[in-house]
Amino acid sequence: MQRDFSELEQEAKNAIKTAQTPKELEAVLRLYTGKEGKITREIQAIPTLAVSERAEAGSALNTAKIQIAKAYAERQDELKQRAQKESGAEEFLDVTAPGKKIEYGSLHPLTLVQRVCGEIFGSMGFSIAQGPEIETEWYNFDALNIPADHPARDMWDTFWLKSEEAKSQRPKTKNPRFLLRTHTSPVQIRYLETHTPPVRIIAPGRVFRYEATDANHQINFYQLEGLVVDKDISVANFSAIIQEFFKRFFGFPVTVRLRPSYFPFTEPSFEVDMTCVVCKGKGCASCSHSGWLEIMGAGMVHPRVFNATGVDPAKWQGFAFGIGLDRLAMMKYKINDIRLLYEGDLRFLRQF
Ligand code: PHE
pLDDT along the chain (352 residues), means of 10: 78 91 91 91 89 88 91 91 77 84 90 97 97 93 91 83 59 68 96 96 96 83 97 94 94 89 96 86 83 92 96 96 94 89 92 90
The pLDDT score that the predictor gives to residue 89 is: 63
Q: What is the amino acid identity at position 344? A: G
CA atoms of 187 and 55, how far apart (whole Å): 98
CA atoms of 164 and 263, how far apart (whole Å): 30
* Ligand 1 centroid distance, CA of 234 (Å): 17
In this prediction the pTM is 0.69
Within 94-201, residue ranges assigned H as helices are 109-123, 137-140, 165-168, 186-194
* Ligand 1 centroid distance, CA of 248 (Å): 22
Of the candidates 151, 154, 210, 202, the residue with the CA atom closest to the CA atom of residue 180: 210
CA atoms of 319 and 232, how far apart (whole Å): 11
Q: Does residue 266 line the site of ligand 1, with CB under 6 A?
A: yes
Of the candidates 145, 158, 150, the residue with the CA atom closest to the CA atom of residue 189: 145
The pLDDT score that the predictor gives to residue 171 is: 47
Q: Which atom of ligand 1 is found nearest the CA of 188?
A: 9
CA atoms of 247 and 342, how far apart (whole Å): 27
Tell me if 121 sits within 8 A of 226, measured CB to CB: yes
Q: Which atom of ligand 1 is found nearest the CA of 297?
A: 8
The pLDDT score that the predictor gives to residue 54 is: 87
- What are the CA-CA distances from residue 308 to residues 48, 230, 263, 332 (Å)? 112, 17, 16, 37
* Ligand 1 centroid distance, CA of 150 (Å): 16
* Ligand 1 centroid distance, CA of 14 (Å): 94
* Ligand 1 centroid distance, CA of 83 (Å): 74
The pLDDT score that the predictor gives to residue 163 is: 66
List the residue whose alpha carbon is closest to atom 12 of ligand 1.
Answer: 297
The pLDDT score that the predictor gives to residue 253 is: 81
Tell me if 274 sits within 8 A of 294, measured CB to CB: no
Q: Which residues pair with 134 in a beta bridge?
A: 180
The pLDDT score that the predictor gives to residue 278 is: 75
Task: Name the residue of 190, 263, 270 whose CB sits within 8 Å of the most ligand 1 atoms, as the mutation to test its pocket.
Answer: 263
Q: Does residue 146 line the site of ligand 1, with CB under 6 A?
A: no
The pLDDT score that the predictor gives to residue 111 is: 96
Residue 49: which residues within 8 A CB-CB, separation 6 or more?
A: 3, 57
* Ligand 1 centroid distance, CA of 324 (Å): 9
Q: Does residue 298 line the site of ligand 1, with CB under 6 A?
A: yes
> Beta strand pairing status for 127-128 and 199-208?
parallel
Tell me if 259 sits within 8 A of 275, measured CB to CB: no
Q: What is the amino acid identity at position 6? A: S
Rounded to 5 degrees, φ, ψ at 318 are -175, 175
The pLDDT score that the predictor gives to residue 153 is: 80
* Ligand 1 centroid distance, CA of 174 (Å): 21
CA atoms of 73 and 18, how far apart (whole Å): 14
Tell me if 259 sits within 8 A of 292, measured CB to CB: no
Q: Does residue 183 line the site of ligand 1, with CB under 6 A?
A: yes
Which sign, positive or negative, has the C-alpha torsion 303, 263, 239, 193?
A: positive
